[in-house]
A and B are shown apart, each in its own frame.
Chain A
């Protein structure tokens, strides 16, 4: 079945970022079509934990985007909180040694100056906050602004709320160009979608979509595993992770890195992350990675040793060399906008990203300085 469609904006990618772009663009009155070669939330979104975090970001452009996104999520939660399993649970970053605690406190002080709520927690108060944590930890910082959603539900419900037309199972095979090179829509294996604006929200495959428009965007996959336990009563109240997680996120290493990230979910199971490896799109299961995740989680929460893992899955974070997403208009292809490369933070950063893209589409003043997110920052001429 082939059909030719016309709209104001075509969004490539039915994940969380594409859904947020569709929602905010539609709320600006634009007619939006979302296309995806797979399903709703079928890529990175469906493999994520649904973190809406400010805690793991150092002061700078990503933190500003995170704070904007957190405010937007709070607003969205009023209408879609239940459907998306939005939980403003807060994050707790724990330090196992006094040295780690000192580093964490320095990091938190910088964040506070940038507008983050970061509350120091002494070792003797830690178990009031999180009763089942292991004994002997040095201390922690509590981040009340951290929250969580169920990412697949969030993407599906934002898409539905947007009213955008959804066309899944449709592969983009080309970007249509007009006179002067302006983007005119996309070609798919099931017909053309004509639009004066195309938003690349293809996550780890964003580089491929950019290439269809003849532009270079070096998005690479960074594999991560999640372990999911049997359903439990609420036992872990916050998103809890070790201080070294922040260093792993910022690292450029291709080798396996793991740092324990543990959180409960509204549905009952506990989610355990986080591993990072640069191995391409290889979905095969790495037992060493799973063992490291389990070891980290049981070290933070000893009661988990007897709890069973029911399943595990791999996902691919879309990562750009400087760990910042590409958000904005691409001067190399007028009409092409990028909204990808959020690495492991795309669920949280999706609302801010969608809001900024919608502003660009309608010519509004951006809420943030977009210079650090420029999509052409990696091409030699732009340096």
Chain B
């Protein structure tokens, strides 16, 4: 069983995004976080203090742990932002802003 089968989903055709340069398929309607989870990726940020990896924690936009850089825009909450065809998703380091 998987979640798509459980609810008898018939998703539209997948598109591709890139994650740190790697091409990943994503289903329309999924957030960046859901697309990354589906691709087996669970962390996409390193903290600004100790450089530790982080990904989804609260899943509903409250905790800000899943911050990610999408199309050069830093500090996007991956659990809120929908994935779009051609998105360039980058692991966010530190503040997400260039020094």
A124 close to B (CB within 8 Å)? no
Contacts of A232 in B (CB 8 A): 95, 97
Flag if B75 contacts A233 (CB, 8 Å). Answer: no
Q: Which residues of B contact A233 (CB under 8 A)?
A: 94-95, 97-99
A231 interface hit (Cβ, 8 Å): yes
Per DSSP, chain B at the interface is loop
- Asked if B52 is an interface residue, CB under 8 A from chain A, the answer is no
Chain B, residues 64-93, CB within 8 Å of chain A (1/0): the string is: 000000000001000000000000000000
A230 to B48, CA, bound (A): 12
Would you call B75 and A230 a contact (CB within 8 A)?
Answer: yes
Docked Cα-Cα span, A192 to B49, in Å, equals: 46
**What size tier do the contact residues of chain B reach?**
under 10
Residues of A within 8 A of B94 (CB): 233
Using C-beta atoms within 8 Å of the partner chain, give the interface range for chain A: under 10
B92 to chain A, nearest CB (A): 12
Distance from A279 Cβ to chain B, minimum over Cβ atoms (Å): 33
The residue in chain B whose Cβ has the minimal distance to the Cβ of A233 is B99
- Which residues of B sit under 8 angstroms from A234, Cβ to Cβ? 99
Which residues in window 224-259 of A have CB below 8 A to B? Answer: 230-235
Which residues on the A side are within 8 Å of B75 (C-beta)?
230, 308
Asked if A268 is at the interface of the complex by the 8 Å CB criterion, the answer is yes
* A310 nearest CB neighbor, chain B only: B64
How far is A308 from B97 in the complex, measured between Cα atoms in Å?
12
Chain A residue at minimum C-beta to C-beta distance from B99 = A233
What is the CA–CA distance of A232 and B94 in the complex, to the nearest angstrom?
9
Docked CA distance A232–B95 (Å)? 6
B67 to A, closest residue via Cβ: A230
A245 → B minimal CB distance (Å): 27
A235-B97 Cα distance, complex, nearest whole Å: 10
**Most chain A CB inside 10 Å of its own CB: which residue of B94, B95, B99:** B95
Among residues 7 to 41 in chain B, which have CB atoms less than 8 Å away from a CB atom of chain A?
Answer: none
Interface string of A299-320 (1 = CB under 8 A from B): 0000000001000000000000
Greatest chain A CB density within 10 A among B48, B97, B99 is at B97
Docked Cα-Cα span, A234 to B75, in Å, equals 17
Alpha-carbon distance A234/B98, docked complex (angstroms)? 10
Q: Give me the interface of B with A, judged by CB distance under 8 Å.
A: 48, 75, 94-95, 97-99
| 14 further A-B pairs in the complex, CB-CB below 8 A; given A230-B75, A233-B94 | A230-B95, A231-B48, A231-B95, A232-B95, A232-B97, A233-B95, A233-B97, A233-B98, A233-B99, A234-B99, A235-B97, A268-B48, A268-B95, A308-B75
Closest 8 CB pairs of A and B: A233-B99, A231-B95, A233-B97, A232-B97, A232-B95, A233-B95, A268-B95, A231-B48
